[in-house]
Amino acid sequence: MGQLPYDVAHLLGGGVLLLSFVLLYQRRVGAVISALAVQGTLLALLVAWQGWVLDAAGLYITALAAFLAKAVAIPLGLRWLARRFGLHRAVETAIGIGPGLIAGVGLVALAILVVLPATTGSPSLAREGLAIALSVVLLGVLMMITRQHAIGQVVGLLSLENGLVLAAAGVRGLPLVVELATAALVLVLAGVAGFFAWRLREDFAEGDFATLDLGLLHRHRGEAPFVEDAP
């Protein structure tokens, strides 16, 4: 097969990483959910490819589960939440888009500097795959930190977990039960996050200004006054 397994794995892994930057860049809820669905699809394809390269039939099951959960079920659930709460506008971030992307590039550089020296002697595919996976994890954490919107933070959590699955898929001999348990965990987390988002919306709804923007909680902590948006 020569260079083909290496090239295809890096193409798919690079696509997953690129979608993490798209998630950081996008501000509209619908576009963020769409990018998450595409990232889940690429992740499923990559896991299936790793199953073929590593001759691990169990990874095909993981790929199918990842596709059904991350590319279909979870995005549909998030879209339902967006329709339920009327979330169609752009959401605010704690820092600007430009500084966020610069911070993301810095985190990718950090992941490379940490992983590559620590995995000297390992196959190139595994080393660079782990570097990409750690980059996706760190970008997911960054999104959770910078987004002031419940849906955006849930998407950041799901993107972070995509990086964990990406790392697990590249490790030869990892028991299938661990991978499936990880996928089940993120489904539970997504369900819990969705439930609490709904409860926050119900408890703090105030007429036309009902929202899932977590910045509205600042006034309850005495950090900043609440200013109503202009009509």
Q: What is the pLDDT of residue 230?
A: 43
Asked whether 55 and 174 are in contact (CB, 8 A), the reply is no
User: Average pLDDT for residues 33-56, to the nearest whole number?
Assistant: 88
User: Average pLDDT for residues 50-62, to the nearest whole number?
Assistant: 80
**Residue 228 reports pLDDT greater than 50:** no
Q: What is the pLDDT of residue 78?
A: 82
pLDDT tens, position by position, 62-96: 788 888 888 898 888 888 877 877 766 666 677 78
> In Å, how far from its chain's centre is CA 38?
11
Instruction: Select the more confidently predicted residue: 78 or 186.
Output: 78
Instruction: Select the more confidently predicted residue: 222 or 167.
Output: 167
pLDDT band at 229 (very low <50, low <70, confident <90, very high): very low
pLDDT tens, position by position, 11-34: 998 999 999 999 988 888 888 889
pLDDT tens, position by position, 133-153: 899 999 999 988 888 777 777
Q: What is the pLDDT of residue 194?
A: 62
Q: What is the pLDDT of residue 37?
A: 93
Query: pTM of the prediction?
Result: 0.76
